[in-house]
Structure 1
């Protein structure tokens, strides 16, 4: 498996050969490059980096490697231990740190891990800074500290609770309405750190929580990507428990999926739609999502009198466009909610609190809420890549084939047809081509996806 390097970090499978997988040497090398980047762009003598990890099995090992590398560079480390991606992002600003590293491979299976890199604002590095880190790593240009100037390591617990308090302090989170509603929910945290954070949030909101896979031991009971085909257990338990709905988060708690009271999927694409509907109903403004996200957000935004724009895929790209357009809420169709009143990062805890507020105000069921939104259907597929495949050439051939349609090439190829669209792009996190389609029925979305899969195979 190839090691995947991008502006937002490094990701790979544990074990194997150096530079081909995420080995201890690769983890040290990349942590050192990040540390050198921090030192090069700061005039401060004492730098501090916040680190945290999800519960996957390799997390403690990689975290120790990263911590000691930074200490060796003379950088202080504040270790949150088991944490969530949004918690580390919030902790960077709350502790006035200079950067952050999250040890997590997000939705990838257990053999994967990664280093996600943050700046002093608790946000992912932009393209320019990310390229500088990659350049330092390629050049092996590290200067480590002498013994009297090593960094200081400290563990700091309690930031998940501080993060929850920040969420509950948001003006649009209606604690009283949620508490009065007396919701009952089932939570699937895929045996990672959502099993710590989500129940703690719900307890403060007086929401009855039925835990499913909430032991943070890193033993994922199903594929950790919160897609319909992986969520049969929670669908059955929601119905069995007569719960109001189900909550699903990925291992690092930046993606949120909802299951309706009848066990059907609310749809991870519609998590952002519902949260935006609530926020836009209280505060007028604009929204942003990426090119692979449902057009339902555009419909809801325009219904509330706002302007919607689409960015290239990737959280940093969404955040950049949100800042440029003064968007008051945005995110990605994978269930990632970005609410700037909290911070510029995907945050499932913020999403849960907003979703609960929305339901509490409307006093309708989860299923009824879903049925109130435009009905679009998506098909998400992928093609595994081998080293000899020239992805750019493949995409150029597809763009040429459909040159008479509306083609957007800011991130891969998105082809807009009259009532449907397809987005083809090389993944930033896996060696695959992603094929996303959306149409007016599931059958049509699947047909369009199958057609493009065949087109791609013919172009190889």
Structure 2
């Protein structure tokens, strides 16, 4: 039912009003008496918000509706409104045919495995605590959460001068970024700024390929950089002043390096490049690896020496602010970094780039394949991490073998500091997969 970032899928198939009603009932039945509820720009969100609200109220929870807002705006509002939980109706970067639900705690963090399983169990077993007729929950509108979010971002950054920035809103909820940067004194231009859940300007997921219009526009202007969001603006990716897409691991390394001091740690998932380790090493800082998913990165940031967490997907977490990936905050942080330290292209150029190889292998039984790979690497390698797939670290680099969460595939990734070492590690990893699939 839950993926790494909530519930998500095609409307009318995986995601229905019936499911939304059930999740609302389950969240309230778990003792969450005050719940903040909002959505992204998809039209199906109207129906799903009503269904979630009905389920919450039916089990006695009061609903604080914020309307169409970014996921980080709603996540911050859970604490701001002294609520117990937040629910965002969004499919994030998925296509317009999809929708879904993200569940947030007062810290901004997504519901963890135990909370997710408690919700899933209630939905599976149809186990809800329905309130009597005279103790149903109330439903009310809250209108100032966006301003509160904006004020927190403005207080968190201090850009130098009046930098020119292009913001690709992607027809989603990320207009907050443009208004915050304007309030900070930036010269702001926007692309795809009209809210439209069919995402006519570009696909909702910001990637090198989907940000071609942003890259071209920035390259033909005096902008210092361009930033882009997905549909619910929890992600942020960027292009530099030349219009060149900033590699995701490089952006992670830049944020990590800016956040860390000696002895600090940065939380990253197991598939993160060695470039982040090497960027932090001169500072006396280090990485701590987690399972893939912003919920696991956010959980690691609860440890006192972890000052930042990020996923190369574009999810960036500053735990002193919120444990929800915050795209508008990330955009403001990047503008601050560039305005204070120089051109983004030069900053990116200071981050090492290493060869990396990836492939996917069809398997009939993902569980059996991964069990076989674990047995084989335990005898062959000294440094093995099995928290999320199988990650093997060597003196030269690393490889990761990880089952797909949605398809009958095993994904293989290998990286080293030289091409020959990358090729060797990649060949070792694919040979392991081939061996277990023949068993």
TM score, norm. by length of structure 2 = 0.89
CA–CA separation in structure 1 for the residues paired with 2:274 and 2:180: 30
Secondary structure in structure 1 of the residue aligned to 2:203: coil
2:345: which partner in 1? 367
Secondary structure in structure 2 of the residue aligned to 1:38: coil
Secondary structure in structure 1 of the residue aligned to 2:30: helix
**For residues 150-299 of structure 1, what are the structure 2 equivalents within 5 Å?**
150-170=136-156, 173-175=157-159, 177=160, 180=161, 182-194=162-174, 196-220=175-199, 221-280=201-260, 285-299=264-278
CA–CA separation in structure 2 for the residues paired with 1:346 and 1:205: 21
* Corresponding residue to 2:7 among 6, 10, 13: 10
CA–CA separation in structure 2 for the residues paired with 1:376 and 1:165: 39
* Corresponding residue to 1:414 among 380, 391, 414: 391
CA–CA separation in structure 2 for the residues paired with 1:428 and 1:398: 17
Q: CA deviation at 1:217?
A: 0.9
* Corresponding residue to 2:30 among 37, 41, 51: 37
Contact 2:206 2:229 in 1 (8 A): yes
TM score, norm. by length of structure 1 = 0.85
**For residues 84-99 of structure 1, what are the structure 2 equivalents within 5 Å?**
84-99=70-85
* Change over 3 Å in CA distance of 1:299–1:119 after alignment to 2: same
1:391: which partner in 2? 366
Secondary structure in structure 2 of the residue aligned to 1:219: coil
Q: Report how many residues are paired.
A: 434
Q: CA deviation at 1:23?
A: 1.7
* Change over 3 Å in CA distance of 1:210–1:7 after alignment to 2: closer
Q: CA deviation at 1:446?
A: 9.0
**For residues 72-111 of structure 1, what are the structure 2 equivalents within 5 Å?**
72-111=58-97
- Note the residue ranges of structure 2 that are not aligned, 5 or more in a row: none
Secondary structure in structure 2 of the residue aligned to 1:328: strand
Q: CA deviation at 1:191?
A: 1.0
* Change over 3 Å in CA distance of 1:433–1:212 after alignment to 2: farther
CA–CA separation in structure 1 for the residues paired with 2:77 and 2:147: 11
User: For 1:269-317, what per-residue CA distance to the aligned partner results, in whole angstroms no more than 9, with x for missing partners?
Assistant: 2222212222226x86321111112222222333222232111112222
Secondary structure in structure 2 of the residue aligned to 1:217: coil
* Change over 3 Å in CA distance of 1:423–1:255 after alignment to 2: farther
CA–CA separation in structure 2 for the residues paired with 1:443 and 1:58: 50
Q: CA deviation at 1:174?
A: 1.3
Contact 1:245 1:259 in 2 (8 A): yes
Secondary structure in structure 1 of the residue aligned to 2:116: helix
* Change over 3 Å in CA distance of 1:230–1:400 after alignment to 2: farther
1:315: which partner in 2? 294
1:376: which partner in 2? 354
Contact 1:110 1:218 in 2 (8 A): yes
Q: CA deviation at 1:377?
A: 4.6
Q: CA deviation at 1:454?
A: 8.5
CA–CA separation in structure 2 for the residues paired with 1:97 and 1:392: 39
1:28: which partner in 2? 21
Contact 1:260 1:266 in 2 (8 A): yes
Contact 1:10 1:30 in 2 (8 A): no
Contact 1:174 1:357 in 2 (8 A): yes
- Note the residue ranges of structure 1 that are not aligned, 5 or more in a row: 40-46
User: For 1:429-449, what per-residue CA distance to the aligned partner results, in whole angstroms no more than 9, with x for missing partners?
Assistant: 788655444344799879977
Does 1:124 find its partner at 2:121? no
Contact 2:38 2:65 in 1 (8 A): yes
User: For 1:115-155, what per-residue CA distance to the aligned partner results, in whole angstroms no more than 9, with x for missing partners?
Assistant: 11122333222222222222211211113223322211112
Contact 2:70 2:173 in 1 (8 A): yes
2:119: which partner in 1? 133
> Superposition RMSD on alpha carbons, in Å?
2.8
CA–CA separation in structure 1 for the residues paired with 2:276 and 2:66: 35
* Change over 3 Å in CA distance of 1:437–1:51 after alignment to 2: farther
